[in-house]
Structure formats: C-alpha cells, structure tokens
Amino acid sequence: MKILVIEDMEALREEVIDTLSYEGFDVMGAENGLVGVKIAQSFLPDLIVCDVMMPELDGYATLEILRQNPETAAIPFIFLTAKADKGDMRQGMELGADDYLTKPFTVSELIGAVNARLRKYAALRTQYDKKLRQTEAKLEYVANRDELTKLPNRILFHEYLHQLLQPENEEAQQICFAIIFIDVDRFNDINTTLGQDVGDALLQALAERLRSHLGHLEYQSMIARLRGDEFAIAMQDITGIEDIRQKLHNLLEVVYQPYAVCGHELSISVSVGITIYPEDSKDVDTLLKNADLAMYHAKKDGIANTFKFYSLELYQRSSERVMLSNGLRRAIERNEFCLFYQPKLNLKTGRIVGAEALIRWQHPELGLVMPSKFIPLAEETGLIVYLSEWVIKQACSQIRQWQQQDLMPIRVSVNLSGRDFKRDRLVENVEQAIAAHEIAPNCLELEITEGIIVSHTSLTKEILAKLRALGIRITVDDFGTGYSSLSYLRNFPIDTLKIDRCFVQNIDKNDSDAAITMAVIDLARALSLEVVAEGVENQAQLEFMKRANCDCIQGFYFSRPVPATEFAGMLAAGKILEV
C-alpha cells in the first residue's frame, strides 16, 4: 500500500516515514503542500497523511485541491495538527478529511489511524468493485441482448459466430452449420392495423416459440433477434441440405401455428434465407450477407413460409441488380436508352399499320439490357415516370422522322406504368410531345394494363378522358390476365383490346385458351373495339386469328422488335405478311 506523508518539519516527516515503512508500507514524503499535490496526482497513493499548518499551501488548501481532482478525490486523508480546536477540526472534516491526529501522537495512535482508514477504504473499495461488476454485467447484458425478447442481439450473434470460427478452434475445422435468417411477412400491417403493442407482443411470442422449439432439440443452436421483425439462427450439427430442409419444415410448422396475443388470434408466415458453413463461405460477415440475400429473394417470391438457400446464382443476380439500380438514374441523364419497334399487322391486308415501342438499355458494361431486368427497378425507385416521359418524346420524334421520309403513316404505341397516373404531368407531357414534333394525336397510342384501371378508377378515368379528348388512342394491354371487368370496358374511353400472349402461345393445343381468345374477340366486336393478338409466333396461331376475324397481330412470326432504322427499312420496302 502506498502512503504519502506531507509535513514541512523534516524531523517529524522522517519519523513518520520510518514508522510506516517499518510496518511494511511503501511511503513517500513531501516537504510542503505544493510538492505533495504533485506527488499525489502523479503516483495516486492509497492514503495521505498531511500537516495542517504549512507555508505557501496549508493542509486545508492541499485537501481542497485534491478533492477537486476525480483521480485523487477519494483518497483517504488524515490531518496532523497541533491544534485541538473543534472549529479547526470541523473545517477539515467539511473539506473531506477522514481523520485527525493531534500532535504529539504515539506510534500506536499513528498506526491505528492509518490501519482504520485503510480498512474502511478497502471495504468501500470492495463494495464499489462489486457494484461496478454488477453494473458492467448489466451493461453487457443490455449491450448484447434484445430488450423486447431478451434474445441475443446482432452484436452477440456476430461475436458468437466469430468465436465459433476462430482459427485456433479445432472443432471449427470439422463442423458444418447453417445460418438462418427469418423475416415475418407483412409485419408492418399488424403494427399499422392493430398497434405497436400487439406487434411487440407477437414478436415476444414468436421469440419464445423459437426458443422453446430449438431448446428441446438435440442439435446446438443460437437464436437472436437482429432487428425489427428479423431473427437469426446458427444451427450446428447438420448433416446436409436435406437435414436442414427437414428441420426447417418442422420449425415452420411451429411458427405457423396461431398466436393468441392481446385478445387477438394471429397467424403469420415467414420468409427464410439459409447459408451453409463452410460450403458457402468461411467468413462470418460473408455468411451473414449470404443469409440476408437468400432471405430477400425468398421474400421477393411472395410465397408464404418459403425458404431459399444461398447460391452463386443469387449473388450474381443481386450484384447485377445493384449495378443496374445504381446506373439507372445516370442512364437517363446520359441518354443510354433506345427504342426498338415491333410491327403490328392488319390481318386483312397483311400490311404494317402500327408498332409497339419497346425500351432497351444500352448499358456501357452489360451491353443491351432487356426491360424485364430494369423496369421493375424503375418502378420501385419511381424513375419509371421519367422513363415513360422519355419514351413518349422519343416515339413522337420517331413518328415525325418517318413522316418526313415519306414512309407509310403508322401508329406507335407506348406502354404506361401505374405510377404515371399518380402524377399530374402525364396529359401535359403527352400534349407537349405531340406539339413539339408536329404529329397528329391519333398517331400515338397509349397502352395500359387492367390493373392500372382497377387500382386508380376515378383518377384513371379522368386522365384517360383528357387523353382521349386530345385524339390519343387507348389500348388495354394483356387483356384477360387480370380483372377483365365488363364495367370498365363500358365506362372507360378504350379503343383496343390486346390479347395476352399467354393465351396465344398454346391456342392450337389448348381448348380453354382458344375459347378465351374467341370470347375476347367476340366481346371486342360487340363493344366496337379493335382487337390485337400479341405473341403470334407460328403459322397455326396465325391461321387461328384469321379464322377468328382478329383485327391485328404482332409477334415473332413476322418480326422481332427491331431498331428504328431496320423498321424504317421494312416500311420503305413495303414488307407485308402473306395472308
């Protein structure tokens, strides 16, 4: 134990130092308060014995300075004084002194006072250390546990995996385990409709069910709540893919059972992603990313209680998606898009009477990217409205160019998104594009799906009426695959129905498809609507459409979508379909 003696009288200071040193203490001396403060702050003794009356800096000032420093504030402090006045003692005690020794004092009095202060200090220190350990344990628990479910959190789960896969861990070289990510489908709907208290209670019930199920099984596992409605499981002692499949099927059966929470009986489904060590990776962070990616694709499939295993194919698809998503906005700014045109043919004359404008992305690294790759991303990000605006302008510009080349006048159709109808600028954009390129409004046709009509009935009807008033023709694309309601055919300003390719492709083999196609054509006739069959790819399909008196067709049988120059060549050459 280190003791500091601060005394200006050298003889007394040396006597006290010798006495305490003889008792086994490590003793330091200081001839005045200034030196004593410096030594105390540098060496942090376990106790200080200090004279009251000293020049320059007396004992009271010395104690006051030390009590203001957090590092020295709690050091036990004994005053040595020749005064026995109670007022002087009270002043020292108020400053934080622990004891007084009145000069002259005996060796036993000195040793007794020192030992008493050190014992009390040791007891306080033990109590303080105990509370500190308890506080540290609580803080560690809070830092590593999810407050709502009491499960390990992401931090502890990550640490567990790192410890499991440490290079010096010989077992890690032989084990095979799976990391499983679980996400509750449509959990936000529960929070929104029933309230966050119900949502929290559901998560607690799910956590307890997972913990109970996994705890009763032989294989080792750790379950954690990562965030929100996402959980993770590290499942050891697996023997292969089929073993995991069986265990997951059993787990999903448990999860799928109804939950009684807050007076509600709730049923949920989950999306699950799985990655396997060491097959997929030996790195913890990579494994976690793999499981998250697999879960994302499982959720994207939209099938209740489904799971996906990580694969290289998923990674490649995800990487491509990220690349396309990052480049999409720049592609609009850099004008990396182009239009291809697929001819529409009149079945009576065989002549080209129109074209569908189909967007392509000339990606600087990936080459020509088809719309199925980037249109969903454009929908998600809202960039689809800018693409639609670009396509409308480009189509109008191309119509004008063909007219200036004295090519046969045709109608070009452009596909619209549901998001286009949520903006006020659609009608204005179309009107400006027609005016800017000086084309007749009936040269432009806009294609919409049944879903757009049904989802935004009143607004869509108003916008379509304005477009129709401009002279724009309206087509319902993919007719028969959605709602196919007769009411909107009667109430909306529609000119054309387009039979979806899914009915056309097997029309010569499937009686149901043939019957549906005939019904659509008859319905269009009854409502004085034009009908177009898309996806005509062979002679049998063509002959069926001729017999059914379909107005127009488009499809690979006559031509794939082609660049504008190639399409112009068809028009210039007068290419027709032999009917």
On whether both 418 and 541 belong to a single domain, the answer is yes
Residue type at 218 in one-letter notation: E
pLDDT in the model for residue 550: 95
- Regarding whether 159 and 236 lie in a shared domain, the answer is yes
pLDDT in tens, 14-44: 999 999 999 999 999 999 999 999 999 999 9
CA-CA distance, 438 to 565, in Å (whole number)?
Answer: 21
The arithmetic mean of pLDDT across residues 424-443, rounded, is 93
- Is residue 175 situated within a structural domain? yes
**pLDDT at residue number 555:** 95
What region, left, alpha or beta, does residue 276 occupy, with left being phi > 0 and alpha being psi -120 to 50 degrees?
A: beta
pLDDT at 143: 82
| pLDDT at residue 134, as a whole number | 79
Number of Cβ within 10 Å of residue 68's Cβ equals 9
**Residue 140 within a domain:** no
Residues 122 and 222 in one domain: no
Q: What CATH number did the domain enclosing 203 receive? A: 3.30.70.270
Question: Is 87 found in the same domain as 50?
Answer: yes
CA dist 133 → 136, 137, 140, 195 (Å) = 5, 6, 10, 39
The total domain count for the chain is 3
pLDDT of residue 84: 63
Who has greater pLDDT, 86 or 445? 445
Give domain status of residue 7, yes or no.
yes
Supply the pLDDT for residue 171.
61
pLDDT at residue 122, rounded to an integer: 84
pLDDT of residue 475: 94
Binning pLDDT at 50, 70 and 90, where does residue 170 land? low
Lowest mean pLDDT among 75-79, 276-280, 452-456, 558-562: 452-456
Which CATH number fits the domain that encloses residue 71?
A: 3.40.50.2300
Q: Based on the fold, state whether residues 409 and 543 are members of the same structural domain.
A: yes
Of 82-96, 190-204, 352-366, the range with the lowest mean pLDDT is: 82-96
The C-alpha R_g of the chain, in whole angstroms, comes to 41
Q: Are residues 522 and 451 in the same domain?
A: yes
pLDDT range class, residue 534, cuts 50, 70, 90:
very high
Amino acid, single-letter form, for residue 504: V
Residues 42-54 have a mean pLDDT of 93
Task: Answer whether residue 138 is part of any domain.
Answer: no
Tokens of 181: 């990510």
When pLDDT is cut at 50, 70 and 90, the band that residue 348 belongs to is very high
**Confidence class for position 241, pLDDT limits 50, 70, 90:** confident
Q: How much is the pLDDT for 132?
A: 79
Share of the chain above pLDDT 90, in %: 61
351 closest CA partner among 551, 63, 177, 53:
551
The region of weakest confidence among 139-143, 339-343, 356-360 is 139-143
* CATH code of 412's domain: 3.20.20.450
As to burial, measured by CB atoms within 10 angstroms (0-12 exposed, 13-18 middle, 19+ buried), residue 242 is exposed
Whether 305 and 338 map to the same domain: the answer is no
pLDDT at 3: 94
Instruction: Identify whether the C-beta of residue 575 lies closer than 8 Å to the C-beta of residue 352.
Output: yes
d(CA 426, CA 519): 33
Residue-number span of the structural domain to which 251 is assigned: 154-310
Collapsing DSSP to helix, strand or coil, 568 comes out as: helix
Please check whether residues 294 and 332 belong to one and the same domain: no
Residue 139 lies in a domain: no
Question: Residue 546 — very low, low, confident or very high, per pLDDT cuts 50/70/90?
Answer: very high
**CA atoms of 450 and 461, how far apart (whole Å):** 12
As a whole number, mean pLDDT of residues 141-164 equals: 89
Note whether 222 and 328 are same-domain residues. Answer: no
Percent of the chain's residues with pLDDT above 70? 96
Taking all residues of the chain, what is their mean pLDDT, rounded to a whole number? 89
Give the separation between CA 396 and CA 472, rounded to whole angstroms. 12
Question: Is 136 inside any structural domain?
Answer: no
Domain termination residue (choose one: 127, 162, 187): 127
What band does 431 get if pLDDT is binned at 50, 70 and 90?
very high
* pLDDT at position 167 over 70: no
Asked if residue 62 belongs to a domain, the reply is yes
Say yes or no: 166 and 36 in one domain.
no
Q: Which of 279, 310, 341 is the last residue of a domain?
A: 310
Are 206 and 292 part of one and the same domain? yes
- List the end-to-end C-alpha distance of the chain, in Å, as a whole number: 110
**Does the residue 51 lie in any domain?**
yes
Do 197 and 50 fall into the same domain?
A: no
